[in-house]
Structures are given as C-alpha cells and as structure tokens.
C-alpha cells in the first residue's frame, strides 16, 4: 500500500473513531440522534406529508389538535404538523452551507494571518474586530432588506458574518502551531510555504477549526431563525419555524399549539446540533466552553 | 502602564473609525442609495432630485463621509429620512430604554453566572454540576425569541402573573419601565448567563488543577480560604474579557427580545428603520451599537490591566 | 525502629482505566522515614515517585485512589484522615517543596503574603512577630533584602529565587518532615548546586527529616543518607547512600549508574536497552525482566519480593542480587572512549558572527534608531572540521541555541559570515539558500514531542526529507524509510505508529532517523538528550556516536550538561551571555587552568557519588542582559581583576593544554589561583 492510500485509510479510521467516541457518552448519542433525525426528516419529509403546506382553508382556522390534524391548524387553516415537519428544510440547508462557507473563508484567512503575522495581520485583525463590533443582527437585516431574502443571498451573507469568529480561532491555533519545533524543522529543511501549510499546519489546526465551525452552525441557526422571526428570513408561504412562531404568536392565547409545534422543532434541532458540537469538541480534545459566542 | 491604557483607548477609536467606514461604504456599495430605496417606485424626476438635494447626495462620497463623521464626532447624527426628524431626538429616549433593559440583564446575569459557574466547578461531576450544566446547555441554545414567547405564554397567558406585552410610551421614566421589564430581562439574561457560567466553570476547573492550588492545599490552607484567595482571583481574571464579549453579543438578543415584548427601545427602531429604508438612522444605530461594544471591551481590558499583578508591577518599577 | 516519623505499609495507589480495569501506579510500598534522616527517592518519569511523595502528605491526585495500605504519620493514617485534620498537619508537621516553584506560587499574591499565610495557619505569632519571622525566613534561604522581596510577586523573581521562597514557605511551620519533589530540576547548573547546598544546611540546622524525590542521582548523592530506588511503581532497592551508589545490588540501579556519563571517567557510558513499562502492562514476573541482563525464566513468571539483607542494611527486590554483591565499584566505569576520524578539513567556518534577538520597538523604528550596540550573541569565531563533534556549552541565556539556529538559517546574523565546505558562503536568508546546503545541514531538537508532527505517522515523518531532497516515491520510498528506521533500531511495525504511541526514547530515534534520511554532512543537535530519562539518554548518545562513525557526519552538539558533553565531544566551546569564554579539545577544557566561568561550571557539576562535593565558586546571580562593555562574565566572576574587566574585552590566550581562554588574567596566574583553591 502506498503512503497516500494509507493516509486515506487513516483519515477514514479517524472519522470512525471520532464518531464512536462521540456516541459513547449519552449526551453525544442524544445529540447525534436528534441531528440525524432532523436531517432525515428534512430530506424525506416532502414524500409523506399528509397535507399541502400552503393550502389555505378559512373553514379550518385554529383547529385544536385532533386525530386528523395532529398539531391542529393555524390562523389560515393550514395543517401545523405538515408545516412543522417541513419547517426545518430551509433552515438546515441555509445554515449548513452557510457554516461551510464560514469555515472555509474564516479558516483560510485565519491561517494566513497567523502565518504572515506582522503588519498585514494587524490590519486584518483590526478590520475583523470592527466587523465584530457591528451587531450581527443589524448587519444581516440591512443586507437582507437591500438584497432580498433568497437563499442565494442568505447563505453567503450568513457565511460571511459567522466566519469572523473562525478567523480568530484559526489564527490563534496557527500561532500555537508555528512556534512548535516540527514547523521549525520543516522550514530548516527547506520545504515550500505551501507544503508547510498543507502537511504540517493544516492537520494540526483542522480540529480546532472544525469544532469552531460546528459551533457556528448552532449560532447561525439561532441567527437565521431570529431573522425569519423578524420577517427577514424566508418569504411566506414557505414553511419555516421562525416565521411560523412569529405568525402564530399573536393568537397564542387561543391556539398555543400553532406556536409550540414549531418551537419544539426549532429547539430540538438547535439542541441536537449543540450537543453534537459539544461531543465533537470533546472527542477531539478541545474545550469549547471557554470561548465567547462571537 | 499609562501608555498601555492609552494604547487600548486608541485601538478602540481605530475600531470605531473602521466601523464608520464599513457602514458608510456598505451603504454606498449596496445597490440603490438612500433616496432610491426610500422613495422606491417614485424615485425619478423632481422628487428624486429634491431628495438628493436635501441629503446632499450630489456631492462626492468622501466629502459626505467627512461632514457626516464630523457631525457624529460632535454627537449629531443628522436627520432621518422618514420623519425628517433629528436622529438624536429619535434615538435619545430609546437608547435610555434599551440601556435600562441591558443593564438590568447584566446586573442580574453576572452574579448568577458567577455563582453557578463556581458551584459547578467546585462540585465538578457531582450532582449539582450535572443538573446545572444540563440546564445551562438548554438555556444557552434556545433563541431569545423562543424563550420570550414561552415566557409570555406560560407566565402572562396561562398563569396571568405578569403583563406579556410592554405598554409604556417611549419617553417613560425608569420607575414606569421597571415592572414591565421582568420578563424581557429573564429572556435576555438566560443565554448570557448560561454562557458565562460555562466559561467561569472551565476557568475555575483549570485553576483548581494548577500547581499552585495543589501547593496551597499541601500548605494546609483551609478549603474556602483556598477557593477565595488562591483560586477565584486567578480564575476570574481571564474570564473578564470573555464575559465582555458575551455581553456585547447580547446586544443582538436585545433587539429581538424588544420586538417580542413590544418594548420601546432600540430594537424596534432597528426593525422600523430598516423596513422604512431609513439609512441615516441605520448608520447611526450601527455606530451607537458598535461604540457600546467597543466601550464594554475597553472596560474589560482596563479591568484586566488593573487587576493583573504582572502589569501592576510594571507600575511599581517605573 | 527508633522514632519513626512516617511509616508506609503496603501502599498501593492506582486508577480505573476507561475499560474499568484497575491499574496500579504504586505497588505495595513499605518503608519508614526516621527522625532527622534524609531519604532520597530516585526513579525515572513514571516510576511513581511523585505520587508516593504526595501520598506522604495524605494527598492523592484527582483520578487516583488508594487501593490498599496506609501512610502513617507517627500513628495516624493520613490517607483516611478528614480534610479538617489534614489541614493541621500539612504545612505544620509535614511540608512540601515543589518541583516548579514558579508555577507553585499563587500568581496574584505577594511573596510576603504567601509566607505569612503559612505562619498564620501554623503558628500563634502576632502580626509584628510574623513580619519579623518572614524576614528571618527569607534571610535563612539567603535571599537578598528580605523586606523588598516580601513585597514582590512571584513572577518578579528568578527561578532560583522562587525555589528559595518555596523553601522559606515550607520552613514557616517548622515541620518535622520536609518533602522535596524534584526541587532543583529545571534550574541552571550553578543555581542547582547552590539550592542543594542550602537544603543540606537546613537539614543540619533544623534537624528535620527530609524526603528528596528526584530523577537525578547526582542531586540525590549530595543530600541523602539513605536512597530508595523505584522502578515501575515498586521499590526495588532501599539502603544507605554509599552502598547504593557505589555497589548497587539491583540490576536496574547497576545499569542506571553505568549509563550516567561522568566527568571522572570520560567517554560514552554503557546503555540500557528498552524503557520502563507503562503502568498496567506487566502482569506477572519482575517488572525489570525485559531489560535485565541477569534475567532467567524464574524472573519472567515470579515476582521477587523486597528482601532485607542484614549485613548490608539494604532491601532489594531481585532474585539474583547475590551476583552483584561482589562486583567491584570500578566495574561500573566501563565506558567507551570516543575516537573520531577528524579530517583536517574545514567543513564549517563561523567567523565574527553576531546575532541580535531584540525586536525593534515601534518608536525606535519611527525614529530610525537601531539599538545594536549590544547584540545577544557577539563575535563568535569557530572552525569545525569534517567528522568532528563540537559542543557548545553554557547555561540558559548563553546563546548556544541561538548560534545553532543561525547556522541552520532560521535566524539572521547581524554581522559576520558562515561558510560551508571552505568557501561556500551560507546565505543569511533561508529562502536564498541552495537546497543542497539545506540538505547538508540537519537539525535534531530537544523535545521530540514538539519536533514530531503529532498528526503524522512515523512513515510520513521520515518520508519528508526523502521526498523533498531525493524525490523518492512509492515502493522505493517505502524501502528507503524502512532502511533508515533500521539504522536507528526501529522495526518495520513502527511505520504506522503516531508519535503519541511511542516512548520518549523511541520518539527521539525517529527524529534522529529523519535527520539522517537527508544524508547530511552536518547535524545540529540541540539539547537532544535533555528531555530523556537517564537510562534512555545513554542509548541515544551511543546511537548518535555509531551513526556518526558509519557516515562520517559532523556534529554540533548543544547542551547544558557538562558530563554529556564530555562524553561525546571532541572539542568544546564554553559560552556565557552570547560570548565565547573558552574553546579547545574537550579533555583540555575540562582541566584547570581554565576560564573562570568554566571553572564555576565544572565546580557545580553533581556527580552521582556522595564523596565528590560540588565546589561553589561564584554567586548564582541571574543576568538578563550581557554587559555593555568589557568581559561578559564580569558580573559573576570570582576572580575579577578590576576596571580592566569592566571596560575592555579580554584577549584570547592560549592555555597550558592548547585550549584558548578569553580572559584578562594571565594563564600562569589562573593556574596559580585555581590550584590554590
């Protein structure tokens, strides 16, 4: 077997071991199961939803849960159960790809800054600090209101705003690594910068960046659903938990079910992602509780 | 020492300067300008010209930036588009209201967070830790608008203990506000408190494992003396900065919570001004919120500087 | 037993593995500490010696627990005592001096407060009396101006001073028993000798019993009356210091003593094979079986017990100790003297090299002010011949590693030139260096944990230079990797291992393999054995010497350990504060007359022999910066002449034995002064 193949096998084995470690603790197992459940639901739900999510029927307004309408109906007479199991699809897609973008640009810029140091690093970090100091909600609202609420706007915009924190983490991790003798050793041997980044630095900062990315995912979900809640996320009639909560809120003294169902959906997904991210961090030996949610 | 303080303050101003550049150029770069977005379909001909004239949009961007920045430095944010009111008049009472809400959340959140963090660390892996840590995981993950909605549903609608919606005018006095902010404060401080408690916990655990704490035990120092003299000062010092970042992050949550409770603070103004495309107000809000963020971090930095014996001794030597 | 202070009976401490298995770290420890006695506990890392010392205070670390046995202080079992009662014993009856005082002093509290805290807890003195006592204690541990010291924070003191504060704090409660956990490890050679001397004085002065835990037989020899040798969680030997160090009757101790390089018998020491087993891996038989020269079948399946031998007053855990009883002390010194083929062929020429570490301050940059009148390393002239081993010796801050880095191209020189192979100038900038030169000069680092990428397998680590310099691929690459690993005695099954799965010695072998894979002409060794256990150190030194003889490689060997340097080098350069003090053939540099700094260093070396005491010539002051002008050693020189040393850079003189000495004192005068003392 050649070295490259062995590396691939080792990587696969590592992924398997990490998942095994994550599932070995109850909290990790619960998190992983919830996440898996939501992902499967999001992919397959259109195949078996009982009703049309956008069919408006005034005669069915605000029906209490029954055997026919498990979670009742909303103020427009739409089936809450149908809308709830469909309601995570946009959120999951947008935040998953958003986190991926955040991970990539944040990680790349962070490693770059950590590596070059000096003035360039100073300037970039100043700008990152400035972006951090603008509340994410203000910036997101502004972008969305000017550019529209399509996923093609939301994904890169969220990806950009949630990547700032990853820059810091990646930069700090790179700083830790480049002081190590194995980097000095590689430099003294005369490896190119690219080969040092790829072979020596990346494998050692990868874990920290991925944990940070997983963590961002849950923040981003929180941010995205807050946007929807405020009416700046997905546009109706697309079912979305944030929007459903916002719409049903006014009438919750009569029809609490229309609020509780999407609240349960959203909360369980966020908790699932969070527990998974936590277990992921622990499995990789990284303590994430010392970090601020920025 | 003094030099360090000055340096931090200077850095804060540089950050704010960059923020102003970002918000200003952000508005410039994005499609449409203040007038076209504001007037929408009527953005043509005389109406547009008049609007340009009024806002001085005919002059080059850098000139507008300079005059705007000069105004901001003097505390004048100019005029809003919608009401043609002075932004200062619009913002003033709302900033106050939001500050009341945020400070109440911080004042309640920090002591609780410290207490929970220390308890969970000292009883690590025992029952109190397991219970509190589980609760914090939940409360830090649930978005503010969900906890706020649930609070209203349970406390206001089902139990009918407290009003669910804040019905006070924007200019209400603090004593009028206070009874109304109980639920919003709980909703806001939940996430923040949970986060800080977790950070304090891990910081205390780290210090408890240090050589000097082991040494203190071996010296025969009683347990609680050890906790208060040897552990906490060293564990809380690095936590200050992280706590500051959490507080700053809470600003976003304040906006959402204010909307849920119909609270007359900056939050609703944010939504309103953005819905109305009132860009001058948005810019002003960005600067104000960013300055709050920068000042909180600055205070945290200075506190760390003051309390850190390593830096204190610099003073003695000089 | 007369007046036992502490008695340990059948103590076993361990932890539960992830699979729920019980794994012992200490196994059946029984011993007694008598009043006024100083007992040295010696063992390598992982032998359980620190766990034992902590157990003697009734302290068991988080995650460990007592499986069986007791730890009696007079007649109270500390391990079953309530915390409240322990608080009255700890610090008052039994006190601890920790390994790393810098990390064991609480950073936010002043020195005075921390000593006062101990006084408040353990004495009835009033405030004024306590203040007086603090000064007294600080005086006793020989810290200058105690009143000022008391107002300082821990980080404002040097390592040696922090260690003295820890001693003062331990003495505050007037303890009956003093536990010292590696109290001098990590300190500079001269500081270490001074702290040991202080401890000896305190033992005599106060009459307390002491337990001195260390991996360093040299330090143990200086302080102990009795020595306990630990291996893999067990006591293997326990007896009077002289008989243990001069005629060890346990094969581990025997091998350990043989593997320590000594100044009195220069040359490469015998090495011991293998390494100490991990806790939990040995189930039956003697734990030293794998590495023992005397082992037989009986040892594999039966565990020896600790047997007391009356006429030697010694306990030993070995079936075959009788074979060692009559081995004469001289047999310990079976060293192999090195004999390198040094060609009179210059391979590296370092001329007039200066290196400045100081970063320019922002303001200085603005004003274009460059402060380089006093660089970190200055005026280094050394020629190295092909096949030679040149050692650079000095304490921390001597600039020895800095010089290595600039040879490797990692640090830019400020002045001077480094030439390779007679006339090829090595560029100051790593990127500008010819790849051939980069291949020709390889580095081996101090700590293999840091120098091996934790995410790479051994195969990937060794493949790096082979791919880079020779473009090897596929089967050819693999074949070559296996070949290189064989050279450092690592079998093929190591290929897929990660560094964390290897022992310290194995890791360093991988690092050596990586360096040799490049087929270098020169290898720069930066404290390559300092992070290793004694028994492993000798094996790595022997390996390096063999490889050198096979390939004719030139070594530049940096170390603070004078005995190691003496063992492996042909020539030695002594450095102080980035300036050369003395250079010459090793055997000559190690002989007087020599530069006063060399004399100080040699005097501070601790030999594992209770009858050879260190000579303390100079104060152990820590200097942060080299002096602006004059001789670099003026601040600490015991033989300072006067203003000439402060104002003029001393000239080079040729010493009696052909070594060059840089000193204002004439060689004849040095000879007189050093012989009189």
Expressed in angstroms, the distance from the first to the final Cα of chain C is: 43
Does residue C250 have a pLDDT over 50? Answer: yes
Report the pLDDT averaged over residues C597-626: 82
- Name the residue facing C91 among B214, B219, B230 (closest C-beta): B219
Look at B211 and C88 and tell me if their CB atoms are within 8 Å: no
Look at C453 and A7 and tell me if their CB atoms are within 8 Å: no
Q: Are C162 and C169 in contact (CB under 8 A)?
A: no
State the complex-level ipTM. Answer: 0.81
User: Hey, what domains does chain C have and what are their CATH numbers?
Assistant: 4-103+176-192+204-332 (3.40.50.300), 104-174 (no CATH), 346-569 (3.40.50.300), 576-676 (no CATH)
Q: What is the pLDDT of residues A247-282, one digit of tens each?
A: 878 777 777 777 888 888 888 898 898 888 888 888
Q: Are B243 and B196 in contact (CB under 8 A)?
A: yes
Report the pLDDT averaged over residues B286-297: 83
Cite the DSSP H helix spans in C40-126: 49-55, 83-89, 101-104, 111-122
Q: What is the pLDDT of residues C343-380, one digit of tens each?
A: 778 889 998 888 886 554 444 445 555 555 678 888 88
pLDDT at C571: 92
* DSSP H or E run through A131: helix A118-133
- Percentage of chain C beyond pLDDT 90 is 29
* DSSP H or E run through C391: strand C389-393
- Name the residue facing A187 among C410, C460, C475 (closest C-beta): C410
Is some CB atom of chain C closer than 8 A to the CB atom of B303?
no
Binding-face residues of C in 402-421 toward A, CB within 8 A? 408-410
List of chain B residues whose C-beta atoms are within 8 Å of the C-beta of residue A134? 19, 22-23, 286, 289-290, 293
Neighbours of C643 (CB within 10 A): 9
For C259, the token pair is 């593997």
Q: How confident is the model at residue C30 (pLDDT cuts 50, 70, 90)?
A: very high
Q: Are C44 and C217 in contact (CB under 8 A)?
A: no
Mutation test of the interface with chain A: which of B125, B141, B188, B281, choosing the one with the most A Cβ atoms within 10 A?
B141
Cite the DSSP H helix spans in C291-334: 297-301, 322-325
Q: Which pTM value belongs to this model?
A: 0.82
The mean of the pLDDT values for chain B is: 79
Does residue B129 have a pLDDT over 50? Answer: yes
Q: How far apart are CA B63 and CA C282, in angstroms?
A: 80
For B80, the token pair is 């809003």
**Chain C residues contacting B via beta carbons under 8 Å:** 54, 57, 59, 62, 83, 86-92, 95-96, 98, 100, 103-109, 117-118, 121-122, 152-153, 155-156, 166, 169, 173
Cα angle for residues C534, C536, C542 (degrees, 5° grid):
110
- 């002591």: which residue's tokens? B111
Q: Which of B23-37, C313-327, C633-647 has the lowest mean pLDDT?
A: B23-37
Phi and psi dihedrals of A159, rounded to 5? -55, -40
Q: How many residues does chain C have?
A: 677
Phi and psi dihedrals of C348, rounded to 5? -140, 130
Q: Are B193 and B181 in contact (CB under 8 A)?
A: no
Q: How many residues does chain A have?
A: 294
For C567, the token pair is 């063992």
Mutation test of the interface with chain A: which of C18, C442, C451, C455, choosing the one with the most A Cβ atoms within 10 A?
C455
Does residue A292 have a pLDDT over 50? Answer: no
**Between C317 and A54, the higher pLDDT residue:** C317
pLDDT at B68: 73
Cite the DSSP H helix spans in C172-302: 189-206, 217-223, 241-246, 251-258, 297-301
pLDDT at C393: 93
pLDDT at B42: 65
pLDDT at C554: 93
Q: Among candidates C499, C529, C17, C662, which has minimal Cα distance to C259?
A: C529
Q: How far apart are CA B171 and CA B96, in angstroms?
A: 9
What are the percentages of helix, strand and coil residues in chain C, rounded to 5?
40, 20, 40
Q: Which region holds residue A154: left if phi is over 0, alpha if psi is between -120 and 50, else beta? A: alpha
- 């040897």: which residue's tokens? B230
Q: How far apart are CA B82 and CA B55, in angstroms?
A: 12
pLDDT at C531: 84
Q: How far apart are CA A172 and CA C184, in angstroms?
A: 33
Rounded alpha-carbon distances, angstroms, from residue C37 to A9, C90, C209, C611: 59, 19, 5, 18
pLDDT at B318: 29
From C359's Cα to the closest Cα of chain A, the distance in A is 12
Q: Among candidates C605, C559, C258, C606, which has minimal Cα distance to C389?
A: C559
Return the residue of B nearest to C120 by Cα: B221
Look at C152 and B209 and tell me if their CB atoms are within 8 Å: no
Cα angle for residues C268, C273, C279 (degrees, 5° grid):
130
List of chain C residues whose C-beta atoms are within 8 Å of the C-beta of residue B214? 59, 98, 104
Is some CB atom of chain C closer than 8 A to the CB atom of A3?
yes
| CB contact set of B121 (below 8 Å; sequence gap of 6+) | B129, B200, B201, B202, B203, B204, B205, B208, B235
Q: Are A262 and A81 in contact (CB under 8 A)?
A: no
Q: How far apart are CA C582 and CA C575, in angstroms?
A: 7
**Between B5 and C233, the higher pLDDT residue:** C233
Q: Among candidates C169, C167, C152, C156, which has minimal Cα distance to C117?
A: C169
Helices B279-307 and B309-317: crossing angle in degrees, nearest 10, is: 70
Q: What is the pLDDT of residues C58-99, one digit of tens each?
A: 998 878 889 999 999 988 899 888 888 888 899 889 999 988
Strand C234-240 relative to strand C94-97: parallel, antiparallel, unpaired? unpaired
| Coil, strand or helix at C438 | helix
| Coil, strand or helix at C268 | strand
Neighbours of C435 (CB within 10 A): 11
Q: Sheet containing C22-34: give its strands across.
A: C22-34, C4-16, C65-73, C76-77
**Residue C170 Cα to chain centre, angstroms:** 24
pLDDT at B171: 65
pLDDT at B296: 85
Q: Are A240 and A87 in contact (CB under 8 A)?
A: yes
Neighbours of chain B (3+ CB pairs under 8 A): A, C
Could you say which architecture CATH assigns to the domain B95-317?
A: Orthogonal Bundle (1.10)
pLDDT at A86: 82
Q: What is the pLDDT of residues A104-139, one digit of tens each?
A: 999 999 999 988 877 888 888 888 877 777 777 877
Is some CB atom of chain B closer than 8 A to the CB atom of A285?
no
Instruction: Please compute, for residue A94, the number of CA atoms within 13 A of its CA located in the half-sphere on the CB side.
Output: 29
From A169's Cα to the closest Cα of chain C, the distance in A is 19
From C82's Cα to the closest Cα of chain B, the distance in A is 12
Look at C117 and B219 and tell me if their CB atoms are within 8 Å: yes
pLDDT at B29: 65
Helices B232-261 and B144-151: crossing angle in degrees, nearest 10, is: 70
Is some CB atom of chain A closer than 8 A to the CB atom of B154?
no
pLDDT at A2: 55
**Residue C64 Cα to chain centre, angstroms:** 28
Q: Are B128 and B115 in contact (CB under 8 A)?
A: no
For A200, the token pair is 């020596």
The mean of the pLDDT values for chain C is: 86
Q: How far apart are CA A246 and CA C277, in angstroms?
A: 64
Q: How many residues does chain B have?
A: 318
Rounded alpha-carbon distances, angstroms, from residue B96 to A88, B89, B90, B271, C636: 37, 12, 11, 18, 65
Look at A2 and C474 and tell me if their CB atoms are within 8 Å: yes
Q: What is the pLDDT of residues A53-70, one digit of tens each?
A: 777 777 767 677 777 767
pLDDT at B172: 67
- Name the residue facing B212 among C86, C91, C104 (closest C-beta): C104
What are the percentages of helix, strand and coil residues in chain A, rounded to 5?
75, 0, 25
pLDDT at A289: 52
Does residue B314 have a pLDDT over 60? Answer: no
Look at B256 and A229 and tell me if their CB atoms are within 8 Å: yes
What are the percentages of helix, strand and coil residues in chain B, rounded to 5?
80, 0, 20
From A135's Cα to the closest Cα of chain B, the distance in A is 6
Look at B220 and C121 and tell me if their CB atoms are within 8 Å: yes
pLDDT at B270: 83
| CB contact set of A59 (below 8 Å; sequence gap of 6+) | A77
Report the pLDDT averaged over residues C481-489: 91
- Name the residue facing C450 among A6, A10, A181 (closest C-beta): A181
Q: Are C215 and C42 in contact (CB under 8 A)?
A: yes
Every domain of chain B and the residues it spans: 2-73, 95-317
* Alpha-carbon torsion angle C44, C48, C52, C53, nearest 10: 40
- 């020492």: which residue's tokens? B1
C329: which DSSP letter?
A: G
Q: How far apart are CA C179 and CA C53, in angstroms?
A: 7
pLDDT at C543: 92
For C212, the token pair is 């001195």
Is some CB atom of chain C closer than 8 A to the CB atom of A10?
yes
Q: What is the pLDDT of residues C282-309, one digit of tens each?
A: 668 888 888 888 888 888 888 888 889 8
Q: Are B256 and A229 in contact (CB under 8 A)?
A: yes
Q: What is the pLDDT of residues C160-181, one digit of tens each?
A: 889 889 999 998 888 999 999 9
Q: What would the DSSP string read from start to end of C125-147? A: --HHHHHHHHHHHHHHTT-SSHH
Q: Are C517 and C466 in contact (CB under 8 A)?
A: yes
């Amino acid at each position: 077997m050649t070295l490259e193949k062995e590396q691939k096998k080792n990587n696969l084995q590592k992924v398997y071991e990490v998942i095994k470690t994550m599932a070995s603790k109850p909290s990790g197992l619960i998190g992983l199961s919830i996440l898996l459940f939501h992902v499967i639901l999001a992919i397959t739900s259109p195949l078996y939803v009982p009703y049309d999510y956008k069919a408006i029927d005034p005669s069915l307004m605000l029906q209490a849960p029954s055997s026919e309408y498990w979670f009742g109906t909303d103020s427009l007479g739409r089936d809450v159960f149908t809308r709830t199991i469909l309601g995570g699809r946009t959120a999951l897609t947008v935040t998953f790809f958003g986190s991926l973008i955040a991970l990539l640009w944040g990680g790349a810029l962070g490693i770059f800054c950590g590596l070059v140091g000096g003035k360039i690093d100073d300037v970039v970090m100043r700008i990152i600090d400035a972006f951090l100091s603008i509340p994410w909600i203000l910036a997101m609202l502004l972008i969305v209101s000017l550019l529209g609420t399509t996923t093609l706007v939301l994904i890169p915009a969220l990806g950009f705003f949630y990547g700032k924190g990853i820059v810091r983490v990646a930069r700090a991790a790179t700083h830790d690594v480049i002081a190590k003798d194995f980097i000095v050793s590689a430099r003294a041997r005369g490896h190119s910068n690219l080969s040092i980044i790829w072979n020596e630095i990346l494998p050692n900062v990868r874990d920290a960046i991925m944990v940070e990315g997983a963590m961002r995912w849950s923040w981003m979900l929180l941010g995205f659903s807050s946007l929807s809640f405020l009416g700046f996320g997905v546009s109706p009639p697309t079912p979305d938990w944030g929007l459903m909560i916002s719409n049903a809120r006014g009438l919750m003294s009569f029809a609490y079910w229309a609020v509780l169902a999407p609240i349960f959906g959203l909360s369980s997904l966020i908790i699932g992602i969070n527990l998974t991210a936590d277990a992921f961090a622990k499995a990789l030996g990284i303590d994430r509780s010392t970090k601020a949610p920025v | 020492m003094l030099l360090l303080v000055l340096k931090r303050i200077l850095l804060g101003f540089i950050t704010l300067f960059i923020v102003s550049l970002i918000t200003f150029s952000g508005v410039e770069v994005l499609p449409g300008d203040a007038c076209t977005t504001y007037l929408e379909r009527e953005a043509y001909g005389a109406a547009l010209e008049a609007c340009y004239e009024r806002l001085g949009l005919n002059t080059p961007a850098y000139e507008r930036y300079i005059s705007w920045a000069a105004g901001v430095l003097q505390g004048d944010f100019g005029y809003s588009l919608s009401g043609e009111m002075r932004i200062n008049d619009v913002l003033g009472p709302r900033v106050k209201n939001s500050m009341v809400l945020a400070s109440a959340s911080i004042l309640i959140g920090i002591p609780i967070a410290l207490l929970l963090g220390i308890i969970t660390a000292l009883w690590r892996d025992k029952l109190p830790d397991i219970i509190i840590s589980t609760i914090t995981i939940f409360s830090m993950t649930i978005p503010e608008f969900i906890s706020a909605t649930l609070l209203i549903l349970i406390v206001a609608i089902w139990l009918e203990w407290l009003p669910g919606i804040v019905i006070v005018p924007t200019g209400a006095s603090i004593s009028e506000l206070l009874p109304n902010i109980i639920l919003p404060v709980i909703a806001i401080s939940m996430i923040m408190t949970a986060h800080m408690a977790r950070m304090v916990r891990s910081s205390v655990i780290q210090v408890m494992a240090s050589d000097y704490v082991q040494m203190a035990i071996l010296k025969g120092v009683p347990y609680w003396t050890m906790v208060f003299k040897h552990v906490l000062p060293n564990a809380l010092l690095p936590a200050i900065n992280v706590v500051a970042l959490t507080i700053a992050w809470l600003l976003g949550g304040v906006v959402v919570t204010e909307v849920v409770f119909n609270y007359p603070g900056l939050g609703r103004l944010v939504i309103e001004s953005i819905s109305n495309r009132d860009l001058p107000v948005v810019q002003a809000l960005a600067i104000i919120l960013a300055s709050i963020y920068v000042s909180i971090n600055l205070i945290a930095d200075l506190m760390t500087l003051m309390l850190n014996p390593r830096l204190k001794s610099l003073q003695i030597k000089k | 037993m007369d007046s036992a202070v502490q008695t340990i009976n059948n103590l076993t401490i361990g932890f539960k593995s992830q699979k729920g298995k019980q794994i012992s770290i200490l196994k059946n420890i029984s011993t007694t500490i008598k009043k006024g006695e100083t007992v040295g506990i010696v063992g390598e890392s992982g032998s359980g010696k620190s766990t034992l010392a902590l157990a003697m205070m009734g302290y068991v670390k988080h995650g460990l627990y007592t499986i069986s046995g007791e730890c009696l202080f007079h007649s109270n079992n500390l391990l079953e005592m309530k915390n409240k009662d322990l608080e009255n014993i700890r610090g008052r009856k039994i006190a601890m001096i920790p390994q790393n005082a810098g990390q064991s002093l609480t950073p936010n509290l002043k020195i005075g407060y921390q000593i006062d805290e101990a006084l408040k807890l353990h004495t009835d003195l009033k405030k004024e009396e306590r203040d007086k006592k603090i000064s007294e204690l600080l005086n006793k541990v020989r810290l200058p101006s105690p009143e000022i010291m008391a107002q300082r924070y821990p980080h404002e003191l040097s390592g040696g001073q922090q260690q003295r504060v820890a001693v003062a704090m331990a003495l505050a409660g007037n303890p009956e028993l003093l536990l010292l956990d590696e109290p001098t490890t990590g300190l500079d050679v001269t500081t270490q000798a001074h702290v040991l001397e202080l401890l000896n004085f305190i033992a005599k002065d106060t009459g307390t019993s002491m337990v001195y835990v260390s991996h360093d037989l040299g330090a143990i020899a200086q302080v102990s009356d009795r020595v306990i040798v630990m291996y893999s969680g067990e006591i293997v030997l326990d007896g009077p210091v002289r008989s243990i160090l001069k005629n060890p009757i346990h094969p581990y101790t025997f091998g350990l003593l043989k593997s320590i390089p000594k100044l009195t018998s220069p040359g490469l020491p015998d090495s011991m094979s293998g390494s100490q087993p991990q806790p939990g891996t040995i189930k039956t038989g003697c734990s030293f079986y794998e590495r023992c020269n005397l082992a037989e079948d009986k040892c594999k399946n039966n565990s020896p017990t600790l047997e007391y031998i009356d006429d030697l007053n010694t306990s030993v855990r070995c079936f075959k100790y009788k074979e060692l009883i009559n081995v004469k002390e001289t047999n310990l010194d079976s060293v192999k003297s090195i004999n390198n083929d040094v060609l009179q062929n210059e391979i590296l020429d370092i001329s007039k090299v200066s290196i400045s570490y100081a970063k320019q301050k922002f303001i200085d940059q603005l004003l274009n002010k460059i402060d380089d009148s006093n660089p970190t390393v200055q005026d280094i002239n050394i020629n190295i011949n092909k096949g030679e081993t040149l050692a650079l010796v000095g304490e921390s801050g001597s600039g020895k590693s800095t010089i290595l880095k600039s040879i490797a191209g990692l640090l830019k020189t400020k002045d001077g030139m480094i030439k390779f192979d007679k006339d090829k100038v090595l560029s100051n900038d790593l990127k500008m260096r010819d790849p051939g030169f980069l291949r020709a000069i390889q580095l081996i680092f101090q700590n293999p944990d840091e120098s091996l990428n934790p995410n790479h397998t051994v195969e990937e680590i060794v493949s790096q230079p082979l791919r880079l310099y020779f473009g090897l691929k596929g089967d050819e690459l693999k074949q070559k990797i296996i070949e290189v690993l064989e050279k450092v005695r690592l079998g093929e099954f190591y290929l897929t291992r990660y560094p964390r799965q290897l022992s310290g010695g194995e890791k360093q072998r991988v690092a050596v393999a990586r360096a040799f894979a490049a087929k270098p002409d020169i290898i720069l060794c930066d404290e390559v054995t300092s992070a290793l256990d004694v028994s492993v150190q000798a094996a790595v030194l022997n390996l390096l010497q063999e490889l050198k003889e096979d390939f004719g490689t030139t070594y530049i060997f940096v170390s603070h350990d004078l005995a190691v340097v003496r063992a492996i080098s042909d020539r030695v350069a002594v450095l102080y504060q980035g300036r050369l003090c003395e250079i010459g053939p090793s055997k000559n540099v190690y002989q007087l007359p020599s530069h006063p700094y060399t004399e100080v260093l040699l005097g501070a070396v601790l030999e594992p022999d209770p009858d050879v005491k260190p000579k303390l010539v100079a104060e152990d002051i820590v200097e942060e910066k080299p002096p602006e002008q004059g001789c670099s050693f003026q601040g600490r020189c015991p033989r300072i002449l006067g203003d000439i040393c402060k104002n003029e850079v001393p000239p080079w003189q040729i010493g009696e034995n052909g070594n060059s000495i840089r000193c204002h004192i004439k060689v004849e005068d040095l000879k007189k002064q050093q012989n009189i003392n």
